[in-house]
Each structure stands twice: as structure tokens, then as C-alpha cells.
């Protein structure tokens, strides 16, 4: 019977996520399509500087750990081994999410509940893997968040085992080291996927540590050992990430991180209130406010059927008195408190007692990264994954006791417990009925690649010289970009809200010079195949697309190219600036060795400036001959290097921060090797 139920669950999960396995490719707002020509330029380890970041003008990897994983998949699995990218990301991103979610939720139940039955584990898996919150996350393509979410129960369980195990503090040193190493490794994996959810998971584990100490009679020596072990896990977990932590220690915050840190109190409060989408009835009912369409800012009414979830979850408190197992009682009480706290925090700045959440947000360190309060749905997911299977099991046992007719081989009352379980499963599936009605979008939909984007990609690939493309108003998911042809969005470049504002600025002759100085050669109006760019009142607006195209045709210094059908491609009639240029007379030649290092040769008849047409960063250095010249910011936020004497020079332009990344990568590799060897020896 267990085997049959297991296979039914597997088939059900396959059916729910069938598009991930059957579609030729998967794409969503936060999971763009990568062409093979783009992936071919990826290295196994991401460089410290990426020319395609920063709206196409270069920047550091803000999510270096996650980017390291994606680069490894592309640089090693695709470029070195030769696997198709579609196969790689479907298995190691989307498939991994499903596998980790199933495994870690079952692992959590096995280690927290006493001998959970197969139907409890199936209910736990369905609650954790197929709820409205995670559907909105994976549907929108936020796979870093999704992967961190999927491993959160495993991280929490490893910490609980260290904290709760009565023998842990008295175990031998080798056994304690092994448990600490395992916990630190799974924590490091979660940090790699998303540090924000890792912080939330650590908050849960820290709360459980204090809860356990307060509710258990322990001597001082054991308490100290548990606390030391707890923080040892965190310390070792961070050591795995020295590859990006070390540069931040040595060089400080990046420009963007500093900008976020310097946000005013009013800006922080307004952003927190703006992103507070969910109401308390929705959060406590484990219902995402954007369910089911997942349109940003579109809040849906409360679905009353979801109120059954908190009723089932918190009814677990009525059953703990019947359970003589003290640890089980502690677990249930803790997860009930966790569910309530999660529901309260997830509602953000909405009633009731909204000022409490606002105050927490304003005074919490690094609060900016939690301005979207729906991330606290993780607390609710962890809570209900434990509480509801516990309640269902106790209700099942209650029915089994009350409706038991002896001496009868077949009697309808004897089947009431099984009928109850059947309706619980049906109800959980009923809650997510839009998935079965094919109403979800994003990664749950199949799409075709418009041939226009393939033609545009082929056109750009054939151009060997460096230039940028300007997408008006913004980039499409199928846009092609590379190290040679970065793409930039006009909305961000001109800080505009719509296409009309951008076109108005383009009519100014000075704008042409500005774009040419930024190495922009082509302006592209995308074919909005997803209906998400030219939008008015959250619906696709064909007139806005037509007005944008007609507006560009009236600009004298633009030439419309034919052959791209629904994509408008406009070339600036004069040649744009190169990646490097001299401010004045002289000759220059260069070659990219890596995205963070260029070989360069220049000859100038008089003192001049070398302009590097990428976002300014103080760590760029020009080593010309024996001279090392630090970058200075231009009016256009580009890098410039002062050449004080005439002559011919050869050397390199490099990011000095890369050396710190190299040392950090070596340290991370040493830590990983030590972990593997230690586990083998232990």
C-alpha cells in the first residue's frame, strides 16, 4: 500500500509540474531565456565584474553565490561536458527544486514527529511543495528563492537534531563534529541559493534554540555546548562562501549596497508599505495575495476555503495533551508559535497592529532585503508542514476509535477514517485547482520562440565589433546579449516611466551624442510576445507599441532596418564609440582576456584621457608601462584614466578586486575539500 501511495504521489507531482518536463524550454519574468551564444562565453567560475550587469554597462555580481552555481552549470555542464542547456537547467534547477522539496519536507516530519505514517508524509509534501506561495515564486521564475525554500526544512531539521538530541552534548567529539559539519554544509547550500531565506531559516533555528533551552531542564555545561555547536555551524557555513565574503570584507560594500544602506527612513517606510500586499486573513490561511494570476500589485479577494488550513493547523494544540512524548509537545507548540509569527510578519504594514511590523522593519539590520514581507511565508510553510499532518493523524485516530464496529467484516462506519483522509487529499488538491485548469502563467505555460528573435540574434552575432543595444522601453525575455553586445533598457537609462517620455528625449540632438558616447549603436523596439511590456491597466496595448514605432521613425538620425518583422530595429546613422576610446587624438587597440581584464596598447601625441565605456568602479586600474592609474568618474558615470605624458604605452586594464575573489575561491575550495575529507574520515 505504501508503494502504491508513493507512486500515486510521484505521478501527481509530475502532472502538476508537467510543463517543466514537456516544454521545449522554460521561461518567466525572473528566468530569462539564454541563447547558446551567450552561454558559450561563460566561465566555470564567474568573474568579479560582468559587462552585461548594471543595465548593460557592467557591474559586480550582486548574487555572486547563486551566479556561481548558474555559471558552473553553463560553464562546466554545457561548455565543457557538452550537455544541452535546456536539459541542464531543467534537471539541476527545476528538477532539483522538486527533489529537495520532497526530501527535506519528509526529513523534517520524520525527525520532528513520532513515527509519521505514509499519509502524513504525503500531506506534508503536498503542503510544502504545492501551495500558493511557492507556485507564485516558481511561476515567476525566482528559482534562487525557490531552491533556498526547498532546502529550508533540511537546514532547520539538522539544527533541531543538534539542539534537541539529549545525547548530543555528551557524545564523542567525532560524532558532534560530524553533525556540525553536515548542518554547516546544508546551510552553505541554502546561502548559495538565496542568503535572505537562509537568514530567515537561521532566525527560526535561533528561536528554537532559545525555546528549547527555556522549556527544558538543562545544566549550564550542556547549554553552553549546544550554543557553541549552534554558532559553529553558522561560522563553518559562512566559510564555504569566502569566495564572495572575503572581497566584501577587504573592499567594503559595493556602490549599490551602499545606496541601499543610505536610504532615508521615509523611503524605507514607503517601500515597506508599498510591498505589503497580503492581508492577515490571507497569510494565516497560507494564501498568496497574487494567487492565481501572479500579476505584480494585483491583489485578489480572500478565498474562504483556505481558512480550513489554519483550523487544521492550530487544532494540533488540542491533541498535545494526549501525547505523553514531551519532545513532540515542544515541537507542536513551537511550530504553532512559528505559524502565528510568520502570518503576522508576512502581512507587512497591513492591519492588525501594523505599527509593530513597521517598527521591526525600520530597526532590523539589513531590513531593506525583507521589504517584500511575503518572504515570511516560509515560516508558515514550515509550520503547517508539521502541524497539519499531526492534526490529520490525530483526527484520523479519533475517527478510528469512535467509528469502529466490531465483529463486522464490512460496515460503513469502519470506513469513515479512510473517507476522512480521502477528503483531506481532495481538499488540498481543490485549493490548487487553477493548476489543473491550466490557469497559471509563467513557468507553467508553454511558449514558442518567435523567429524574429532568432533572426535578431543571428544579426548581432555576425557583428564582431563592440556595441550596445538599447531596448525601448525595456528588454524582452528573448533578447540576445553577450560580452560583445550588452543590452540596456531605455526606461532605466533615461529614468522614464513610459515610451513617450523616452522618445521625447530622443528628439534632442544631444541625446544622439550621449548614446554614441555610451557605445549604443542600435535601438530596438521588442515584439511583445508575452504581452507584458506595452501594457495599460495590466493589459497589452497594441497602440502603445505602434506609437513607439512611429515615434522612432520621425527621428532624423535613426535608420530603420528591414527584415525583422514585428521587432523594430533602428540603427544610429553615425558609428558609436568603442569599448575604449581616447579623449582627443591618438590610436588605441585592445583585447578582452577576461571580463575583468583587458590587454591594451595606446599612442597619444599629448596628455589625454583613456575612457572605459562601462559603469564607474573605483577598483579599475590601468597599468601602462610602470604606471598604475586609478579610475576616475566621468560626467556620464564611466571610467577614465589620466595619461599625463605623450607617448606609446602597452599594458592592461584590470579590476583589482578580482585578486580578493581569487583568494576567496581558494579558501572556499579548501573548506569544501576539508569537509569532504573530514566526513570520509569520520
- Please tell me the predicted confidence (pLDDT) of residue 442: 92
How many CA atoms lie within 13 Å of 217's alpha carbon, on the beta-carbon side? 1
- Please tell me the predicted confidence (pLDDT) of residue 171: 60
CB atoms within 10 A of CB 55: 18
Asked if the model's pLDDT at residue 416 lies above 60, the reply is: yes
Distance, in Å, from the CA atom of 122 to the CA atom of 7, rounded to the nearest integer, reads 11
Distance, in Å, from the CA atom of 464 to the CA atom of 259, rounded to the nearest integer, reads 36
Q: According to the 3-state scheme, what is the secondary structure of 513-539? A: HHHHHCCEEEEEECCCCCCCCCEECCE
Sequence-distant (≥ 6) Cβ neighbours of residue 207 within 8 angstroms? 334, 338
Give tens-digit pLDDT for 256-312: 454 444 456 667 777 787 778 889 999 999 999 999 988 777 788 889 999 999 999
C-beta separation of 672 from 242 below 8 A? no
Pairing of strands 580-582, 568-572: unpaired
Backbone dihedral angles phi then psi of residue 522, each to the nearest 5 degrees: -130, 140
Distance, in Å, from the CA atom of 105 to the CA atom of 122, rounded to the nearest integer, reads 10
- Please tell me the predicted confidence (pLDDT) of residue 255: 42
Place of cell 503576522: 344
Long-range pairs of 527-531 with CB within 8 A, sequence gap ≥ 24? 527/450, 527/452, 527/453, 527/476, 527/565, 527/566, 527/567, 528/476, 529/447, 529/450, 529/476, 529/478, 530/447, 530/476, 530/477
> What is the residue-wise DSSP string for 410-463?
S-GGGGHHHHHHHHHHHHHHHHTHHHHTT---GGGS-----HHHHHHHHHHHT-
Asked if the model's pLDDT at residue 168 lies above 60, the reply is: no
C-alpha grid cell, residue 122? 504525503
Largest CA distance in the chain: 108
Collapse the DSSP code of 51 into the 3-class scheme (helix H, G, I; strand E, B; otherwise coil) and give the result: coil
- Please tell me the predicted confidence (pLDDT) of residue 364: 76
- Please tell me the predicted confidence (pLDDT) of residue 593: 94
Calculate the CA 277 to chain-centre distance: 19
Distance, in Å, from the CA atom of 551 to the CA atom of 543, rounded to the nearest integer, reads 12
Give tens-digit pLDDT for 175-197: 778 889 999 999 999 999 999 99
Q: How far is CA 62 from CA 46, 51, 59, 257, 567, in A?
A: 12, 13, 8, 9, 31
Question: Taking the domain 580-656, which CATH number applies?
Answer: 2.60.40
C-alpha grid cell, residue 418? 479512510
Distance, in Å, from the CA atom of 569 to the CA atom of 531, rounded to the nearest integer, reads 19
Give tens-digit pLDDT for 44-84: 999 999 999 999 999 998 889 999 999 999 999 999 999 99
* Region 97-117 average pLDDT: 95
Asked if the model's pLDDT at residue 448 lies above 50, the reply is: yes
Distance, in Å, from the CA atom of 376 to the CA atom of 485, rounded to the nearest integer, reads 39
- What does the domain layout of the chain look like in residue ranges? 2-33+84-346+357-387+394-401+412-427, 451-572, 580-656
Asked if the model's pLDDT at residue 566 lies above 50, the reply is: yes
* Region 326-345 average pLDDT: 91
Pairing of strands 608-615, 638-643: antiparallel
Collapse the DSSP code of 613 into the 3-class scheme (helix H, G, I; strand E, B; otherwise coil) and give the result: strand
CB atoms within 10 A of CB 532: 16
- Please tell me the predicted confidence (pLDDT) of residue 172: 65
Burial class (CB in 10 A: 0-12, 13-18, 19+), 560: middle
* Region 37-43 average pLDDT: 95
- Please tell me the predicted confidence (pLDDT) of residue 256: 44
* Region 108-114 average pLDDT: 93
C-beta separation of 413 from 403 below 8 A? yes
Give tens-digit pLDDT for 203-258: 999 999 999 998 888 888 888 888 998 999 999 999 999 999 999 888 875 544 54
Pairing of strands 468-471, 487-489: parallel
**Alpha-carbon torsion angle 295, 300, 305, 311, nearest 10:** 90
Angle between helices 220-239 and 143-164 (to 10 degrees): 150
Asked if the peptide bond before residue 352 counts as cis, ω within 30 degrees of 0, the response is yes
For 186-251, list the strands marked E by DSSP: none
Asked if the model's pLDDT at residue 481 lies above 80, the reply is: yes
Q: According to the 3-state scheme, what is the secondary structure of 134-163? A: HHHHHHCCCHHHHHHHHHHHHHHHHHHHHH
Asked if the model's pLDDT at residue 165 lies above 90, the reply is: no
Distance, in Å, from the CA atom of 531 to the CA atom of 445, rounded to the nearest integer, reads 14
C-alpha grid cell, residue 673? 575539500
Backbone dihedral angles phi then psi of residue 472, each to the nearest 5 degrees: -120, 115
Collapse the DSSP code of 200 into the 3-class scheme (helix H, G, I; strand E, B; otherwise coil) and give the result: helix
Work out the mean pLDDT of the chain and round it to a whole number. 90
Residues of the chain above pLDDT 90, percent? 72
C-alpha grid cell, residue 515? 548614446
CB atoms within 10 A of CB 677: 10
Distance, in Å, from the CA atom of 286 to the CA atom of 109, rounded to the nearest integer, reads 19
Give tens-digit pLDDT for 607-639: 999 999 999 999 999 999 888 999 999 999 999
Amino acid at each position: 500500500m505504501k508503494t502504491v501511495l508513493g507512486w500515486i504521489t510521484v505521478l501527481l507531482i509530475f502532472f502538476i509540474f508537467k510543463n517543466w518536463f514537456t516544454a521545449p524550454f522554460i521561461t518567466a519574468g525572473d528566468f530569462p531565456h539564454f541563447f547558446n551564444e551567450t552561454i558559450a562565453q561563460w566561465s566555470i567560475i564567474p568573474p568579479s565584474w560582468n559587462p552585461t550587469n548594471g543595465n548593460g554597462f557592467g557591474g559586480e555580481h550582486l548574487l555572486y553565490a547563486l551566479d556561481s552555481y548558474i555559471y558552473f552549470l553553463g560553464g562546466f555542464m554545457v561548455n565543457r561536458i557538452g550537455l544541452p542547456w535546456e536539459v541542464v537547467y531543467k534537471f539541476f534547477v527545476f528538477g532539483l527544486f522538486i527533489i529537495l522539496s520532497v526530501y527535506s519536507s519528509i526529513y523534517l516530519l520524520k525527525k520532528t514527529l513520532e513515527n509519521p505514517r505514509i499519509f502524513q508524509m504525503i500531506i506534508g509534501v503536498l503542503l510544502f511543495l504545492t501551495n500558493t506561495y511557492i507556485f507564485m515564486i516558481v511561476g515567476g521564475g525566482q528559482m534562487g528563492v525557490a531552491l533556498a525554500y526547498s532546502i529550508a526544512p533540511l537546514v532547520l531539521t539538522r539544527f533541531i537534531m543538534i539542539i534537541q538530541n539529549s545525547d548530543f552534548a555528551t557524545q564523542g567529539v567525532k560524532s558532534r563534529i560530524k553533525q556540525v559539519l553536515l548542518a554547516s554544509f546544508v546551510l552553505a547550500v541554502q546561502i548559495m541559493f538565496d542568503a535572505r531565506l537562509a537568514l530567515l531559516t537561521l532566525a527560526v533555528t535561533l528561536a528554537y534554540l532559545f525555546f528549547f533551552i527555556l522549556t527544558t531542564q538543562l545544566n549550564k555545561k550542556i547549554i553552553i555546548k549546544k550554543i557553541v555547536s549552534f554558532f559553529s555551524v553558522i561560522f563553518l557555513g559562512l566559510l564555504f562562501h569566502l569566495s564572495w565574503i572575503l572581497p566584501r570584507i577587504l573592499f567594503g560594500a559595493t556602490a549599490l549596497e551602499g545606496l541601499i544602506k543610505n536610504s532615508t527612513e521615509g523611503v524605507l517606510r514607503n517601500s515597506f508599505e508599498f510591498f505589503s500586499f497580503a492581508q492577515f486573513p490571507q497569510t494565516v490561511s497560507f494564501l498568496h495575495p497574487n494567487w492565481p494570476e501572479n500579476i505584480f500589485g494585483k491583489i485578489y479577494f480572500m478565498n474562504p476555503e483556505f481558512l480550513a488550513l489554519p483550523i487544521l493547523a492550530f487544532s494540533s494544540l488540542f491533541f498535545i495533551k494526549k501525547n505523553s512524548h514531551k519532545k513532540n509537545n515542544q515541537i507542536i507548540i513551537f511550530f504553532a508559535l512559528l505559524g502565528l509569527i510568520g502570518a503576522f510578519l508576512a502581512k507587512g504594514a497591513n492591519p492588525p497592529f501594523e505599527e509593530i511590523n513597521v517598527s521591526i522593519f525600520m530597526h532590523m539590520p539589513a531590513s531593506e532585503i525583507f521589504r517584500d514581507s511575503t518572504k515570511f511565508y516560509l515560516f508558515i510553510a514550515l509550520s503547517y508542514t508539521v502541524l497539519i499532518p499531526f492534526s490529520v493523524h490525530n483526527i484520523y485516530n479519533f475517527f478510528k476509535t469512535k467509528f469502529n464496529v466490531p465483529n463486522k467484516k464490512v460496515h460503513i462506519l469502519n470506513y469513515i477514517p479512510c473517507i476522512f483522509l480521502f477528503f483531506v487529499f481532495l481538499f488540498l488538491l481543490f485549493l490548487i485547482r487553477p493548476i489543473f485548469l491550466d490557469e497559471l502563467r509563467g513557468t507553467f505555460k508553454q511558449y514558442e520562440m518567435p523567429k524574429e528573435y532568432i533572426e535578431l540574434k543571428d544579426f548581432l552575432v555576425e557583428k564582431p565589433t563592440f556595441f550596445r543595444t538599447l531596448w525601448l522601453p525595456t528588454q524582452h525575455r528573448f533578447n540576445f546579449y553577450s560580452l560583445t553586445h550588452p543590452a540596456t533598457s531605455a526606461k532605466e537609462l533615461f529614468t522614464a516611466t513610459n515610451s513617450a517620455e523616452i522618445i521625447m528625449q530622443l528628439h534632442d540632438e544631444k541625446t544622439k551624442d550621449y548614446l554614441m558616447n555610451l557605445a549604443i549603436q542600435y535601438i530596438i523596439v521588442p515584439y511583445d510576445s508575452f504581452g507584458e511590456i506595452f501594457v495599460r491597466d495590466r493589459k497589452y496595448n497594441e497602440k502603445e507599441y505602434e506609437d513607439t514605432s512611429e515615434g522612432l521613425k520621425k527621428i532624423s538620425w535613426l535608420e530603420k532596418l528591414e527584415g525583422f518583422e514585428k521587432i523594430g530595429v533602428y540603427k544610429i546613422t553615425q558609428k558609436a564609440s568603442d569599448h575604449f576610446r581616447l579623449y582627443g587624438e591618438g590610436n588605441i587597440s585592445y583585447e578582452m582576456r577576461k571580463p575583468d581584464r583587458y590587454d591594451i596598447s595606446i599612442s597619444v601625441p599629448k596628455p589625454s584621457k583613456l575612457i572605459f565605456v562601462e559603469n564607474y568602479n573605483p577598483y579599475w586600474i590601468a597599468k601602462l608601462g610602470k604606471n598604475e592609474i586609478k579610475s576616475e568618474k566621468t560626467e556620464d558615470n564611466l571610467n577614465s584614466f589620466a595619461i599625463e605624458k605623450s607617448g606609446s604605452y602597452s599594458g592592461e586594464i584590470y579590476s583589482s578586486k578580482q585578486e580578493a575573489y581569487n583568494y576567496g575561491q581558494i579558501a572556499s575550495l579548501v573548506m569544501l575539500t576539508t569537509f569532504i575529507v573530514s566526513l570520509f574520515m569520520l
